[in-house]
Chains A and B, each alone.
Chain A
Amino acid sequence: MDIIKATNIHRTFGEGSLQAHILKGIDVTVRSGEFVAIMGKSGAGKSTLMYQLSVLDEPSQGDIEINNVCISTLTESERTAFRLTTLGYVFQNYALVPDLSAEENVMLPLLMNGYTWDKAKDRAHHSLDNVGLEGKYTNLPAELSGGEQQRVAVARALSGKPKIIFADEPTANLDSVSGTQVIDLLVRLHKDNGQTIVMVTHEREYAMDCDRIIHMEDGQVTNIEHLK
């Protein structure tokens, strides 16, 4: 079953002679439980595509349906609520709130989802344990290494049990050891929980455990590589 169905996606920026056509009519589908990597050179449009699929941006043209919801019909607040309940994010710069401890960062979406403080805390601890951060609950992001911060971000993305996780170059700011640890973590979570994951990366070695690799160039899908 397709959990993401994107049809004829265009994304342009600017107007007139300054207009840049970044995505040029992309059709993409992702099946439920699939681990998909989007690869391409810098400027290929892979991140822009991911922003459209992850409801962080609106395409200039085309339709996106996620979990049977037509995204273009949602208002801004509905899109925010949709992201909260259905999607999880891992950004390349970790995107943690610096004033909150690791556990509080993970608790944020849970509290927004209506969890009580204690339940959210238990769930956050479980998620942090799951990514190997036992005993780091009260550490501030600044007190954690880059790899650990990214694992907090993964724990936050997973804690609400979203249907899809989007990871935007999650290893970009990490050394190779930490990068491999984060990828291994995503792969393990995908295998254990059957989580749908869409990951943007430009390093092929990190995409080798995915089900499919969508190759992009100049705003278009050039090849879809099936690895499994």
Chain B
Amino acid sequence: MRALRIGFLLGFRQVQRANFWTTTLIIFVMMLTFLNLIAVSGILVGLIAGSERAVQDQSLGDIIITPLDNEEKIIQTETIRRTLDTLPEVSSYSIRYQQGAQITANYKTRRDFNIEPNEVGARVRGIDPVAENAVTALSNYVVEGEYLEPDEAGYILIGALNIDRYTAGFADITGSLTDVYPGDSVRVTINGASQEFTVKGIVDAKAGDVASLVYLPEKELRRLSNSSSRDADEIAIRLADKSPATGVAVKSILIDQGLDEFAKIRTFQEALPKFITDIKNTFNILGTFIGAVGIIVASITIFIIIFINAISRRQQIGILKGIGINRSAIEIAYVLQAAFYALMGSALGILITYGFLIGYFDANPIDFPFSDGILVAEPIGTLYRFIILFIITLFAGLIPASIIVRQNTLNSILGRK
């Protein structure tokens, strides 16, 4: 207790009387270290989190219902629809029908039958344009032309990945349509039945399959595929509260009502493609590794700062020992200094992260090809990183102080080696 009191007095006064700019510089370095710890791994994880968010917002919704493993369609789709209509937690849902199709363009102007036709194989998603827009805001992703109007017929939306000017060199692999623009006619062929549609818009988005699909009003798709069944391929559900906990709760309600006998019910997290989860885990490991390097750099920085500080006060340390101040008190003084630098640097880092960076990246996500990268800094993760940084900083302060304090008292006083 005595050592702590004296250590606190010495440490506090050293910090108080230290050169303002030196202290500012040290705190700045600590702040950068903290930001490196939080922001670098946060952005790496944020790339995938951005992708997840995009998949949730643009494709899967908060809960996704798909056919059981041994079924091709969702059984009792109408029963599920009626149940969803009764749940206040559900803000909207979109019943989707899907079919494989061949899309052909420019067939009217094709003169030479020796060259390949301008066509592409694609999945057609039959939607209620209003319901789909309520769940995924699909109209926001129309990059050319316009979105489908309710109850109109004869129009189609084409995903950008089916059009060569959007595929950026991947056309040879995926196949694509050339010279197709809104207003052009395309022929959709499903199981040998064909119908001509006018391209109303081109849809492009980074998430999931949004840009690879072709969209028709569901009535048109069922008519073309000659299907009288109302059983759907997917039901994407948007909840009023998008939090994972609500998703789990609503899924439980649906299961309690016996709907899992008709279809597979999954929250968005459960339905995420495995590669996203794998990349997320890999980036987490990478972020932790970069963070660990950051911590090592921070501890070496603190070590050097405290070592220089202690060695420049070696004579003073000798005198303190000479007049009877014990080793612990002197060591505590330097550990407290290190703690002060770590606390101030981390506090500034936290302020910048939560007060500015997260909001900034949310508003201005980093434009990556597969996602809009945001900064993810979960408070609990930040707390763990802070605790690790703080503890390591204390040791980085203690070790050099201890090295100097352990030196012979008289040699320290006289400045002898």
Task: Give chain A's interface residues, CB within 8 Å of chain B.
Answer: 51, 56-57, 77, 80-81, 83-85, 87-89, 91, 95, 97-100, 104, 108-109, 111-114, 117, 140, 156-157
Given the contacts A89-B323, A100-B13, A112 and B413 also touching, CB distance less than 8 Å: no
Q: How far is the CB of A142 from chain B (nearest CB, A)?
A: 10
With CB as the reference atom, state the residue of chain B lying closest to A86. B324
The contact of B319 among A80, A81, A95, A99, by CB within 8 Å, is: A95
Residues of chain B in range 1-46 having any CB-CB distance to chain A below 8 Å? 2, 5-6, 9-10, 13-14, 16-17
With CB as the reference atom, state the residue of chain B lying closest to A94. B319
**B2 in contact with A80 (CB, 8 Å):** no
**B2 in contact with A111 (CB, 8 Å):** yes
Q: Kindly state the separation between the CA atoms of A66 and B324 in the bound complex, as whole angstroms.
A: 16
**B413 in contact with A91 (CB, 8 Å):** yes
**B324 in contact with A100 (CB, 8 Å):** no
Given the contacts A84-B324, A99-B16, A112 and B316 also touching, CB distance less than 8 Å: no
The contact of A83 among B5, B316, B322, by CB within 8 Å, is: B322
Given the contacts A95-B413, A156-B323, A114 and B2 also touching, CB distance less than 8 Å: yes
The residues of A that contact B323 with a CB separation of less than 8 Å are 83-84, 88-89, 95, 108-109, 156-157
Of A77, A88, A99, A117, chain B has the most CB atoms within 10 Å of the CB of: A99
Q: How far is the CB of B78 from chain A (nearest CB, A)?
A: 80
Task: Give chain B's interface residues, CB within 8 Å of chain A.
Answer: 2, 5-6, 9-10, 13-14, 16-17, 316, 319-327, 329, 409-410, 413
The contact of A97 among B5, B320, B321, B326, by CB within 8 Å, is: B320
**A77 in contact with B325 (CB, 8 Å):** no
Q: How far is the CB of B237 from chain A (nearest CB, A)?
A: 65
**A97 in contact with B324 (CB, 8 Å):** no
The contact of A80 among B16, B316, B326, B410, by CB within 8 Å, is: B326
**A80 in contact with B14 (CB, 8 Å):** no
Q: Kindly state the separation between the CA atoms of A114 and B320 in the bound complex, as whole angstroms.
A: 16
The contact of B324 among A99, A109, A140, by CB within 8 Å, is: A109
With CB as the reference atom, state the residue of chain B lying closest to A47. B414
Q: Kindly state the separation between the CA atoms of A117 and B9 in the bound complex, as whole angstroms.
A: 11
The residues of B that contact A109 with a CB separation of less than 8 Å are 323-325
The residues of A that contact B326 with a CB separation of less than 8 Å are 77, 80-81, 112
Which 3 pairs, one residue from A and one from B, show the smallest C-beta to C-beta distance?
A: A84-B324, A99-B13, A95-B319
**B322 in contact with A89 (CB, 8 Å):** yes
Q: Kindly state the separation between the CA atoms of A77 and B9 in the bound complex, as whole angstroms.
A: 21
Q: How far is the CB of A18 from chain B (nearest CB, A)?
A: 14
With CB as the reference atom, state the residue of chain A lying closest to B18. A99
With CB as the reference atom, state the residue of chain A lying closest to B326. A80
The residues of B that contact A56 with a CB separation of less than 8 Å are 322, 409-410, 413
Q: How far is the CB of B340 from chain A (nearest CB, A)?
A: 14
Q: Kindly state the separation between the CA atoms of A140 and B14 in the bound complex, as whole angstroms.
A: 12
Q: Kindly state the separation between the CA atoms of A97 and B319 in the bound complex, as whole angstroms.
A: 9
The residues of A that contact B320 with a CB separation of less than 8 Å are 97, 108
Q: Kindly state the separation between the CA atoms of A156 and B323 in the bound complex, as whole angstroms.
A: 9
**B319 in contact with A77 (CB, 8 Å):** no
**A111 in contact with B6 (CB, 8 Å):** yes
The residues of B that contact A81 with a CB separation of less than 8 Å are 324, 326
Given the contacts A51-B410, A95-B319, A99-B14, A111 and B5 also touching, CB distance less than 8 Å: yes
Given the contacts A89-B322, A97-B316, A108-B320, A57 and B9 also touching, CB distance less than 8 Å: no
With CB as the reference atom, state the residue of chain B lying closest to A162. B324
**A98 in contact with B316 (CB, 8 Å):** yes
Q: How far is the CB of A54 from chain B (nearest CB, A)?
A: 8
The residues of A that contact B6 with a CB separation of less than 8 Å are 108, 111-112
Q: How far is the CB of B160 from chain A (nearest CB, A)?
A: 67
The residues of A that contact B325 with a CB separation of less than 8 Å are 80, 84, 108-109, 112
18 interchain pairs, CB-CB under 8 A: A56-B413, A80-B324, A80-B409, A81-B326, A84-B323, A84-B324, A85-B324, A95-B319, A95-B323, A95-B413, A104-B13, A108-B6, A108-B9, A109-B323, A109-B325, A111-B2, A111-B5, A112-B325
The residues of B that contact A77 with a CB separation of less than 8 Å are 326-327
Q: List 15 additional contacts besides A80-B327, A99-B17, A156-B323; criterion CB under 8 Å.
A: A51-B410, A56-B410, A80-B324, A81-B324, A88-B323, A91-B319, A95-B316, A99-B14, A100-B13, A104-B9, A111-B9, A112-B2, A112-B324, A113-B2, A157-B323
The residues of B that contact A89 with a CB separation of less than 8 Å are 322-323
With CB as the reference atom, state the residue of chain A lying closest to B17. A99
Q: How far is the CB of A11 from chain B (nearest CB, A)?
A: 11
Q: Kindly state the separation between the CA atoms of A100 and B323 in the bound complex, as whole angstroms.
A: 15
Q: Kindly state the separation between the CA atoms of A88 and B90 in the bound complex, as whole angstroms.
A: 81
With CB as the reference atom, state the residue of chain B lying closest to A95. B319
The residues of B that contact A157 with a CB separation of less than 8 Å are 323
**A57 in contact with B316 (CB, 8 Å):** no
With CB as the reference atom, state the residue of chain B lying closest to A156. B323
Q: How far is the CB of A55 from chain B (nearest CB, A)?
A: 9
